[in-house]
Amino acid sequence: MEALLAITIGVLVATSVYLMLARNVLRFIFGLVLISNAANLIIFVSGRLTSGAPPLIAEGAEGPVGDVANALPQALVLTAIVIGFGLFAFALVLMFRAYSTLGTLYSDDMRIAEPRTEDTK
Amino acid sequence: MTWTLATPLVLPFLTAVLAFLARYGAAGRWFSVAGNAVLLGASILLMVRVLDQGVIAAQMGGWSAPFGITLVADYLSAVMVVITAITALAVSVYALTDIDERKEHLGYHALFNILIGGVVGAFLTGDLFNLYVWFEVMLISSFGLLILGGNKDQIDGGIKYVTLNLISTILFLSGIGLLYGMTGTLNMADIARTLDTVENQGLVTVVAMMFMVAFGVKAAVFPLFFWLPAAYHTPAFSVSAVFAGLLTKVGVYALIRMFTLVFDGDIGFTHQILLWVAGLTMVTGVLGAAAQNDIRKILSFHIVSQIGYMIMGLALLTPLAVAGAVFYLVHHIIVKANLFLIAGVAERTAGSTDLNRIGGLYKSAPLLACLFFIPAFSLAGFPPLSGFWAKYVLVAAAIENQGWIIAAVALLVGLLTIFSMTKIWAEAFWKPHPEGVDPTLNQLTPQARRHLLIPIAALAAMTLVIGFSPEPFVTFAKDAAAQLLDPTAYITTVLGGET
């Protein structure tokens, strides 16, 4: 299971790097979504995987018995997903706004804040 | 104990809610000023407690240390919170005039206070994942502030700022995941304790490098700084002042915290890289500044070169060097925020921040010229201003450590800083205005003059105080450095006595 997830993470990161190297900023944020999910999977795997063992505590007992799933990474991933979703929504709106004010989605044409020297002449 | 630590954290969010509800009236901006004044009081209270007891810690929600979220303040955290509150108060007074009604309606004051809350949270937390959450709070409000108003150049700079910061955040998150996998804990003190027992020390170094890159992007070090000069000159002056003063310093703070407390296992490797990074950051930043022709762009590149000095202090890792880094951090926040505020007044009176299009400020606004003189020459390291002592301590530490090259680089960069500060002086203040305008302060209303100049004068006065009596500040920085280099007290306080 770990091996499968590790390969998945690798594929996600590779795909997202490919997308983020594109000059189109829309592709860039799709790459960003993929890589943030890869990060979530890293946290998930690092908490060690156990299948079919929910961390439930029997009535009256002080702690769970035997090998159970680690609940903390799941809480962390949940938090990271929520935050990542908020950031993605913001980035998407920003790209939309950039398209409507700058009229382009290509990062090479976005030279207003730091113009090239030949542009200013 | 819990109360002293939690108040500086809760206050900005309370202020933000009030300011948001009152954003259509004049009350909103005064809530912001009042809230930040109270925050300053609370942070001074925290400082007094820390000076009294060394390190103080509190467990949130009553969960004991490695499990719950810990708030912890040592000397470094406490002084950073105080300086954050000072900057926030100064900028919120400045914003009374600087921020127009449209931006107020869009929620400027609420976003600003959330940003301050995020910064304070990042300084006070003792939990790695919690640090990530505070970084996010800080980031999302800074995104909002940066593009508030929606000018073309703001959107353009905003895209670079947003994308690069998101990548660094994801790297940070992956680093947290891997570190958790190795140690099974997220509490920074607990990680510091258990990290030595990890079998695969090579992987620890890999994770250390991930953190270095992630925080390096936030702190804008070489070669990861390109988003900063692309973005910091576009928003309102209040916003760029608070960004310049505080945001990059949170990255530096996180670097100092992680690379003194947690990643101190392979100093020969990690801190050698930091030293190279520091030297190159100083040089590229100051050369970039020399090539610019706009006050805010010059100042933005200067942030980069000054970050290099702080990283240099961390990289040398001797008590004197770390003390220098702490001193530099505090001095630089005051000076840099002040310079951006002054640039705002210069634009208001002379009409632009482009050096080719303005001039004559010395003749018609001598008071502003004097107020510019103090932080500018402090930044360049003129004795006896605060920047001189900061550089002096760092260079002394480098020489003591036989780091001749880095000491020479630091001194040379100081000289080049003077060059570009003289450029601003000669172009904006000394030469006559090219369009024959007389940029006097009298063209501002008396009320606007009060709001704009009082924070500038107050920050300049603080620079002078630090400059003329550096003794207590240097002593404090040395105590803070001693605490950072021997984190035993930090760890035992956080974990509640058990070691």
Which of A13, A40, A82, A87 to mutate: most B Cβ within 10 Å? Answer: A87
For B269-302, the pLDDT digits (tens) are 888 899 999 999 999 999 988 888 888 888 899 8
Q: Angle at Cα B79 formed by Cα B77 and Cα B83, nearest 5°?
A: 115
Cβ of residue A90 closer than 8 Å to a chain B Cβ: yes
Among the partner residues A36, A94, A101, nearest to B170 by beta-carbon distance: A36
Across the A:B interface, residue pairs with CB atoms under 8 Å apart total 106
Q: Angle, nearest 10°, between helix axes B366-380 and B386-400? A: 10
Per the CB < 8 A criterion, the answer to whether B7 and B38 are in contact is no
Per the CB < 8 A criterion, the answer to whether B55 and B172 are in contact is no
Q: Residue B188: name the closest of B123, B128, B134, B266 by CA.
A: B128
Residues of chain B contacting residue A87, judged by C-beta atoms under 8 Å apart:
136, 139-140, 166, 169
pLDDT for residue B436:
74
Going from the C-alpha of B453 to that of each of B16, B193, B334, the distances in angstroms are: 25, 49, 15
At residue B132, does pLDDT exceed 90? yes
At residue B64, does pLDDT exceed 80? no
Question: For residue B77, what are its two tokens?
Answer: 């955290």
Cβ of residue A76 closer than 8 Å to a chain B Cβ: yes
- State percent of chain B over pLDDT 90: 35
Question: Is A114's CB within 8 Å of B229's CB?
Answer: yes
Report the C-alpha gap between B245 and B329 in whole angstroms: 9
Higher pLDDT, B497 or B368: B368
- The shortest C-alpha distance from A60 to chain B (Å) reads 20
Question: Is A107's CB within 8 Å of B159's CB?
Answer: yes
- The answer to whether the predicted template modeling score (pTM) of the entire model surpasses 0.90 is yes
Mean pLDDT of B232-242: 89
Residues of chain A contacting residue B139, judged by C-beta atoms under 8 Å apart:
87
Report the C-alpha gap between B424 and B428 in whole angstroms: 6
ipTM > 0.95, yes or no: no
pLDDT confidence bin for B111, thresholds 50/70/90: very high
What H or E segment, with its residue span, contains residue B71? strand B70-73
For B413-452, the pLDDT digits (tens) are 988 888 888 888 888 888 887 777 777 777 888 888 888 8
Residues of chain B contacting residue A95, judged by C-beta atoms under 8 Å apart:
159
Cβ of residue A79 closer than 8 Å to a chain B Cβ: yes
Mean pLDDT of chain A: 84
Domain count, chain B: 1
pLDDT for residue B322:
92
pLDDT for residue B227:
85
At residue A121, does pLDDT exceed 50? no
Q: Domain coordinates of chain A in residue numbers?
A: 1-49+71-109
pLDDT for residue B498:
45
Which of A79, A85, A112 to mutate: most B Cβ within 10 Å? Answer: A112
Among the partner residues B129, B158, B234, nearest to A94 by beta-carbon distance: B158
For residue B275, which amino acid is it?
Answer: L
Length of chain A measured in residues? 121
pLDDT for residue B59:
84
Report the C-alpha gap between B257 and B67 in whole angstroms: 20
Helix then strand count (H, E) for chain A reads: 4, 0
For residue B68, which amino acid is it?
Answer: G
Higher pLDDT, B151 or B327: B327
Which of A23, A48, A82, A94 to mutate: most B Cβ within 10 Å? Answer: A94
The number of C-alpha atoms within 13 Å of B130 and in the hemisphere containing its C-beta is 21
At residue B380, does pLDDT exceed 50? yes
**In the block, which residue shows the tokens 């930090």?**
B490
Question: Is B174's CB within 8 Å of A38's CB?
Answer: yes
Higher pLDDT, A62 or B257: B257
At residue B358, does pLDDT exceed 60? yes
The number of C-alpha atoms within 13 Å of A77 and in the hemisphere containing its C-beta is 16
Cβ of residue A95 closer than 8 Å to a chain B Cβ: yes
Q: Name which of A105-119, B109-123, B124-138, B357-371 the model is least confident about.
A: A105-119
At residue B134, does pLDDT exceed 90? yes
- The shortest C-alpha distance from B174 to chain A (Å) reads 5
pLDDT for residue B181:
87
At residue B268, does pLDDT exceed 60? yes
Closest residue, chain B, to A108 (C-alpha): B156
Mean pLDDT of chain B: 88
φ, ψ at A103 (rounded to 5°): 75, 20
Among the partner residues B140, B143, B156, nearest to A113 by beta-carbon distance: B156
Higher pLDDT, B63 or B21: B21
Higher pLDDT, B413 or B68: B413
pLDDT for residue A120:
47
At residue B365, does pLDDT exceed 80? yes
Q: Name which of A48-57, A98-107, B166-175, B357-366 the model is least confident about.
A: A48-57
At residue B109, does pLDDT exceed 50? yes
pLDDT for residue A116:
64
pLDDT for residue B202:
85
Q: Following DSSP, what letter does each residue of B181-220 receive, concatenated?
A: HHHS--BHHHHHHHGGG-S-HHHHHHHHHHHHHHHHHHHT
Cβ of residue A22 closer than 8 Å to a chain B Cβ: no
pLDDT confidence bin for B35, thresholds 50/70/90: very high
The domain A1-49+71-109 having CATH identifier 1.10.287: the answer here is: yes
pLDDT confidence bin for B81, thresholds 50/70/90: very high
Question: Is A39's CB within 8 Å of B177's CB?
Answer: yes
Mean pLDDT of B483-488: 88
Closest residue, chain A, to B229 (C-alpha): A114
- The shortest C-alpha distance from B155 to chain A (Å) reads 6
* 3-state DSSP helix/strand/coil % of chain A, to nearest 5: 65, 0, 30
Question: Is A114's CB within 8 Å of B230's CB?
Answer: yes
**The domain containing residue B116 runs over which residues?**
1-495
pLDDT confidence bin for A117, thresholds 50/70/90: low
What H or E segment, with its residue span, contains residue B56? strand B56-59
Q: What is the CA radius of gyration of chain B?
A: 22
Question: Is B162's CB within 8 Å of A91's CB?
Answer: yes
